[in-house]
């Protein structure tokens, strides 16, 4: 899975000097403070709680679809991608679970309605059509996950949750780019590689 990880992730996790500082207008009214203006660890607002739930639902679906697709897919790159989703999101999900437990946020443990519909559609598709349908659903899911993570980064108040969002976002954008590239290969579109160099042939 190393192929799927962007470089220098460690660098992207903010050092304490670069801790998240939100707009206090969005703090939960009952927030306990560690010091004035700084919420105590694991204090959450509505946004943190919603984020944890939606991110967990997304992560759960990633793993489930990944397992499904890694066996059902026919194209090698799709299989490989699916396996990477299982690995990366299993890690991310357990980290999120830790943070949610610490903040006493219950997380979903079954697919949400949206993902159940996708699952049904994927079950019906076969062969290359399956590969394409899976990759397309992955593009949408990663687009949404990127919005969600960016949202938590500015709207939440649980600093650890926000750092988690900041550290996960580059990975999700990287997955998105990969999904776009694989989908364009499958469908014969030109490469979408947004970061391709001028010099690359």
Partner 1 sequence: MSPLKLIALSCLVTASAVSLAAFSDPLPPDLTYRPLPTQPFSSVKANDEAQKPKVMERQQTLLNQRYDLSDKAMSNVSMSGGMKKVQEGVRVKLPDGVTWESLADMSPDEIRDKNLLPDGFKPLPHVKQATGGQVFPQKQIDEIGKQEARDLKRFDVDFDLPDHLTPEFPPPIFLTTHPELGDVSRGQLLTIRNFYEYMNGIITPVQMEGLRLLLTPFPQEEFNQTEDRKVAQQSMGVACLDCHSNFNTNAAFHLTPDVRPQASRFRLDTTSLRGMFNQQIHGSKRSLRSVEDFTEFEQRTAYFNGDHVSATRKGVNLPDRPNQVAMMAQMQNIIDFPPAPKLDPLGRLDPAKASEQELMGERVFLGKGRCGECHIPQTSFLDNNMHDLRLERFYNVGYSANDQVAIPDGPIKTFTLRGIKDTPPYLHDGRLLTLADTVEYFNLVLGVKLTQDEKNALVAYMLTL
Q: Which residues bind partner 1 (CB under 8 A)?
A: 6-8, 11-12, 14, 17-29, 35-38, 45-47, 50-51, 54, 57, 112-114, 117-118, 121-122, 124-127, 129, 132-133, 136-137, 140, 144, 146-148, 150-151, 153-155, 166, 169-174, 194-200
- Shortest separation between residue 87's beta carbon and partner 1, angstroms: 19
Question: Closest Cα partner for 82 from 64, 99, 97, 69?
Answer: 69
- Shortest separation between residue 81's beta carbon and partner 1, angstroms: 18
CB-nearer residue toward partner 1: 94 or 147: 147
H-run or E-run covering 38 = strand 38-39
Q: Is 2 exposed, middle or buried (0-12, 13-18, 19+ CB in 10 A)?
A: exposed
Rounded distance between C-alpha atoms, residue 103 and residue 43, angstroms: 7
- Shortest separation between residue 83's beta carbon and partner 1, angstroms: 22
CB-nearer residue toward partner 1: 21 or 40: 21
- Shortest separation between residue 114's beta carbon and partner 1, angstroms: 5
Indicate the angle between helix axes 113-124 and 127-155, nearest 10 degrees: 160
**Max Cα-Cα span within the chain:** 58
Rounded distance between C-alpha atoms, residue 20 and residue 47, angstroms: 15
CB-nearer residue toward partner 1: 24 or 106: 24
CB-nearer residue toward partner 1: 38 or 63: 38
- Shortest separation between residue 152's beta carbon and partner 1, angstroms: 9
- Shortest separation between residue 90's beta carbon and partner 1, angstroms: 20
CB-nearer residue toward partner 1: 97 or 136: 136
- Kindly report the CA angle at 56 between 24 and 184, in degrees rounded to 5? 105
For the chain, what is the total number of helices (H) and then of strands (E)?
Answer: 6, 2
CB-nearer residue toward partner 1: 42 or 171: 171
């Amino acid at each position: 899975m190393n192929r799927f990880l962007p470089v220098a992730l460690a660098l992207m996790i903010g050092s304490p000097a670069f801790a998240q500082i939100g707009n206090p207008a969005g703090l939960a009214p009952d927030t306990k403070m560690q010091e004035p203006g700084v919420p105590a660890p694991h204090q959450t607002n509505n946004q943190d709680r919603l984020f944890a739930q939606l991110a967990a639902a997304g992560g759960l679906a990633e793993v489930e679809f990944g397992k499904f697709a890694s066996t059902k897919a026919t194209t090698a790159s799709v299989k490989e991608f699916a396996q990477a989703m299982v690995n990366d999101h299993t890690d991310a999900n357990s980290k999120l679970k830790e943070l949610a437990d610490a903040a006493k946020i219950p997380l979903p443990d079954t697919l949400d309605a949206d993902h159940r519909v996708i699952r049904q559609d994927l079950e019906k598709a076969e062969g290359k059509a399956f590969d394409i349908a899976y990759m397309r659903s992955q593009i949408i899911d990663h687009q949404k996950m990127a919005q969600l993570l960016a949202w938590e980064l500015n709207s939440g108040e649980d600093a650890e949750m926000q750092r988690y969002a900041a550290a996960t976002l580059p990975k999700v954008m990287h997955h998105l780019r990969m999904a776009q590239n694989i989908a364009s290969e499958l469908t014969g579109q030109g490469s979408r590689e947004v970061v391709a160099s001028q010099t690359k042939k």
